[in-house]
Copies of this chain bind each other. A is one copy, B any other.
């Protein structure tokens, strides 16, 4: 929990209390490269922290997304998944999603070309649809190395 001190102070800016559930969830997600669901987080934390409530997981996840500590991801069917936004991982990235086993791979190549396309598209969208772009999302679906 080396990061806890930094988290705590960053958190205070949002006028919230620093609690054990909050630290545990952030700690767990910061240590894995996996994209975990609320249930998976609950099951994992329950080992070291028996008695933690599911409600708390959901509430905390939602708070941590709002305050920019986590990303919430929506992968087709199944529950929402969450990933830690580290300063390095915060660098723009997208996902490769295996349609067979559901594995999610982070992908951050071709960002320059993507940036160019997105910029151009945004200009176009704003002009044609009068739509103010705030964010975008790109996903590739297919078969991972273990599934084909």
User: Chain A interface (Cβ within 8 Å of chain B)?
Assistant: 74, 76, 96, 98-99, 105, 107, 109-110, 113-114, 117, 120-122, 124-125, 128-145, 148
Task: List B contacts of A105 (CB < 8 A).
Answer: 129, 131
New A-B pairs, 10, CB < 8 Å, besides A96-B133, A131-B143, A134-B141: A110-B120, A113-B117, A113-B121, A121-B140, A122-B140, A131-B145, A132-B148, A134-B143, A136-B138, A137-B137
Report the Cα distance A135→B76, complex, angstroms: 13
- By secondary structure, the A interface counts as mixed
Task: List B contacts of A142 (CB < 8 A).
Answer: 131-135
Quick check: B130 and A145 within 8 Å, CB to CB? yes
